[in-house]
Amino acid sequence: SRVIRLAVIPGDGIGPEVVAEALKVLDAVAPGADVTFEKTPFELGAARFLATGDVLTDDDLASIASHDAILLGAVGGVPGDPRLKDANIERGLLLKLRFALDHYVNLRPTTIFPGVTSPLANPGEVDFVVVREGTEGPYVGNGGAIRVGTPHEIANEVSVNTAFGVERVVRFAFDLANSRPRKKLTLVHKNNVLVFSGNLWMRTVNAVATEYPDVAVDYLHVDAATIFFVTNPAKFDIIVTDNLFGDILTDLAGAISGGIGLASSGNINPTGAFPSMFEPVHGSAPDIAGQQIADPTAAILSVALLLDQQGLPEAATRIRTAVTGDLAGRTAASGSRTTAEVGDAIVTLLSSELVSEETPS
């Protein structure tokens, strides 16, 4: 059977709690897909920094990069923890991995699963994917501050957008839109104000659109997009957007889908030059860490994205079916299940899927 080498970074807070459940589910589907996951744990994050002073060493990075794929829980301590001020775990670890491994597509799907209560009264049939650019924009660290701490301080954070970087993520988004029934792509930006980058994004989308005559293209300013996320999220199919807008929109997307604990993501390098990395959209949730109350569904659905990317779509579908079953059966009472109980319930549903396949009807 095929061996897939998986780097596992449980991280901080609820990261290890949700990763444990994601791995349970992965191990439950692997035999049916005739694959074996060979896992290497990496102890990285705020805890490692506080213990050793390391955020991500060159050796860690090289070793992680030698794997076939990466599963990450969440990293980052309690926001504002003074001991972490100089570490910047998010930049030094998470963004460093995304940049070094050229994860230029940050894929963030949103569906409202049957039976799940959205905070929206009438959300309709919600099934969209945010294709968030992952290696550019205001995230690149092109900035600086002078006269810090004085009344004359100036702090700059430059959004970097390259023709190369925008075109490759836009092409990915068009391919994805073209593969879906509705074939619709919405560019989200703020080109009424951010004119230089907005212009590049708009021109790129319009140019690539000529190669995809079947894909219907429209445009929304990001502020207006947040209106439609709440009033009519069913209108979206594929959204392509820059790194920061995509970050903000996908927490909102998680909330409307029934909770951030359901939102999965993949940081993809579509060329295969580097391993892709899968992680829930949420963070380390220090407010609920250590209590076994985090929802592991986002991490489990991130494993489904990992299986898709590894060319194992049947195994991915099995996970989504089990998750769908678990979500449909959730009641007010089952809301009090522990993180591990949710993982166990999904594993149980996976095995009953096999039984029902084997049972002649």
Residues with a known catalytic role: 139, 190, 223, 247, 251
The H or E element that residue 278 is part of is strand 276-280
Name residues contacting Mn ion, limited to 236-265 (CB under 5 A).
Answer: 247
Please report, as residue ranges, which positions from 72 to 101 form the binding site for ligand IPM (by CB under 6 A): 76, 90, 94-95
The response to whether 289 counts as a known ligand-binding position is yes
Please report how close the Cβ of residue 137 comes to ligand NAD at its closest, in angstroms. 16
Does 70 bind ligand IPM (CB under 6 A)? Our answer is: no
**320 marked as binding residue:** no
- Beta strands 137-146 and 238-241, pairing class: unpaired
- 136 versus 326: smaller Cβ distance to ligand IPM: 136
Residue 280 backbone phi and psi in degrees, to 5: -60, 155
CB of 336 to ligand IPM, least distance (A): 27
The residue from 120, 260, 268, 306 that contacts ligand NAD (CB under 6 A) is 260
Nearest to 82 by CA among 50, 114, 54: 50
Spatial neighbors of 120 by CB under 8 A, at least 6 apart, are 230, 233, 256
Closer residue to ligand IPM in complex, CB, 94/222: 94
Residue 299: other Cβ atoms inside 10 A: 32
* The only residue of 94, 177, 215, 252 in contact with ligand NAD, by rule CB under 6 A: 94
What lies within 8 Å, CB to CB, of 353 at 6+ separation is 318, 321, 322
Footprint of ligand IPM on 210-239 (CB under 6 A): none
Strand partners, 9: 72
Site for ligand NAD in 15-34 (CB under 6 A): 18
The residue from 77, 109, 138, 266 that contacts ligand NAD (CB under 6 A) is 77
Half-sphere exposure of 195 (CA within 13 A, CB side): 2
Tokens, residue 321: 């079916």
Q: Binding residue per annotation — 295?
A: yes
Q: Of 59, 125, 287, 358, which lies in the binding site for ligand NAD, with binding defined by CB under 6 A?
A: 287
Name 110's bridge partners: 128
Q: Which of 17, 247, 326, 353 binds ligand IPM (CB under 6 A)?
A: 247
- 279 backbone dihedrals φ, ψ, rounded to 5°: -160, 150
Residue 291 labeled ligand binder:
yes
Closest residue to ligand IPM in the complex (CB)? 90
Q: Are 277 and 310 in contact (CB under 8 A)?
A: no
Give the three-state DSSP class for 242.
Answer: coil
Give the residue with the Cβ less far from ligand IPM, 28 or 74: 74
> 237 or 247, CB closer to ligand IPM?
247
In 3D space, the residue among 263, 314, 220 whose CA is nearest the CA of residue 111 turns out to be 263
Longest CA–CA separation in the chain, Å: 76
CA–CA separation, 31 vs 38, rounded Å? 13
Sheet of strand 35-41: strand arrangement: 35-41, 2-11, 69-74, 276-280, 264-268, 105-111, 127-133, 238-241, 184-189, 216-221
- Of 11 and 198, which CB lies nearer to ligand NAD in the complex structure? 11
Nearer to ligand IPM, 261 or 283 (CB): 283
Residue 95 interacting partner from ligand NAD, ligand IPM, Mn ion, none (CB closer than 5 to 8 Å by kind): ligand IPM
Binding site for ligand IPM (CB under 6 A): 76, 90, 94-95, 247, 281, 283
Binding site as annotated, residues for Mg(2+): 223, 247, 251
Binding site as annotated, residues for NAD(+): 283-295
Binding site for ligand NAD (CB under 6 A): 14, 18, 74-77, 79, 90, 94, 260-261, 279, 282-288, 294-295, 298
